[in-house]
Amino acid sequence: MIKQQLKQALLSSGVLRLAGRLHGKGAAILMYHSVLEDPGSVADSLGGMIHPRPIFEGQMELLAREFHPVSLDQVGRFVSGEEELPERAVVVTFDDGYADNFEMAMPILDRLGVPAAFYVTVDCVESRRLPWPSRLRYSFRKTARKEWKGEAAKVWNLGSEREREAAYLAACDRVAMLAGAEQERVVSHIEFDLGTMLPAESGDLMMNWGQVRGLAQGGHIVGSHTMTHPNLAHVGVEDARRELVESKRRMEAHINAKVVHFSYPCPALFPNWNEQTTEESQRAGYETAVTTSSGLARRNDNPLALKRVRPSKTVDGLRWNLETAFAGREV
């Protein structure tokens, strides 16, 4: 309560805005995933990355009212010194490629004139399947098994919710280092061991190509989020190259336009980018790439390793995260 009052006092005093001005210009690239009317209905697969629709709408109204929504292309040109940005510039981005991005988020964005960028996990769109972290979350939460044998024959108890979560995170650390067919082999093996898997209709939560095209035709940016959602900083260079190149190629064929924006998946392990991945993403033909490191995008930053800001799950939380990010905080 006291903390809340302190935050409110800081926000209304103007101190943060002043600090922001002293800190110089930058853009806050916000990272969203999913927007749903009833987040509880898919909590066992998507977990905590869903924004309830009314909160998302309130957050977008805040951006339109108190900040300056700009496009990712503008930020790319700002970072490389070709263009100026307005004060308090914000960019809305979505990772993974959920159908609700098209169905729920786009109408709100368009009503308010907020441009956004949507990063698509190509194999998930084509196979009608959720990204693997959601598949594993579901299996670990729903399994009737009492234990699971992980790497190096380590036995994980699955009795309590906490133990299930710990085993799930260990599995994520392992799968995050795998891509393509090998990743699929290990994920389906774990699903088999746990004796339960996400129902096939959960694939309807992913966009189809028609919806991806609809976003692009609506004036929004669509970019790649890899083929199979590995942590690119933790896979071999051949796998990383394939994820970058093949996802771009397939997206371009389906939307009939150039794809020059990329988002590094961060399913587990940190960081999710390094010098090699930025070089490979440039070689593949990308012009910008966003990470999950926190902070603003600033002039002369590497455009292939742009920081982002987490939006929080409330309107006040978003205002606080933005004001403190503009004031120079990088958490």
Residues in the site for Zn ion, rule: CB under 5 A? Answer: 95-96, 265
Q: Which is nearer to Zn ion, 98 or 326 (CB)?
A: 98
Rounded (5°) CA angle 299-218-265: 55
Rounded (5°) CA angle 78-82-83: 55
DSSP 97-161: -BHHIIIIIHHHHHHHT--EEEEE-HHHHHHT---HHHHHHHHHHH---SEEE-GGGPEEE-SSH
Question: What b/e string do you get for 35-49 counting C-beta neighbours within 10 Å, with b at 16 or more?
Answer: bbeebeebebbbbeb
Task: Report in angstroms how near the CB of residue 277 gets to Zn ion at its nearest.
Answer: 15
Q: Which is nearer to Zn ion, 225 or 319 (CB)?
A: 225
The one-character DSSP state at 206 is B
Which pair of tokens denotes residue 183?
């990743």
Give the residue at shortest CB distance from Zn ion: 95
Q: Which is nearer to Zn ion, 91 or 232 (CB)?
A: 232
Task: Report in angstroms how near the CB of residue 292 gets to Zn ion at its nearest.
Answer: 9
Nearest alpha carbon to residue 263 among 58, 120, 64? 120
Q: Which is nearer to Zn ion, 69 or 223 (CB)?
A: 223
Task: Report in angstroms how near the CB of residue 83 gets to Zn ion at its nearest.
Answer: 28
Q: Which is nearer to Zn ion, 143 or 281 (CB)?
A: 281
Nearest alpha carbon to residue 306 among 132, 84, 73, 123? 73
Task: Report in angstroms how near the CB of residue 95 gets to Zn ion at its nearest.
Answer: 4
The one-character DSSP state at 80 is T
> Do β-strands 221-224 and 116-120 pair in parallel, antiparallel, or remain unpaired?
parallel
Task: Report in angstroms how near the CB of residue 147 gets to Zn ion at its nearest.
Answer: 29
Task: Report in angstroms how near the CB of residue 299 gets to Zn ion at its nearest.
Answer: 27
Q: Which is nearer to Zn ion, 49 or 112 (CB)?
A: 49
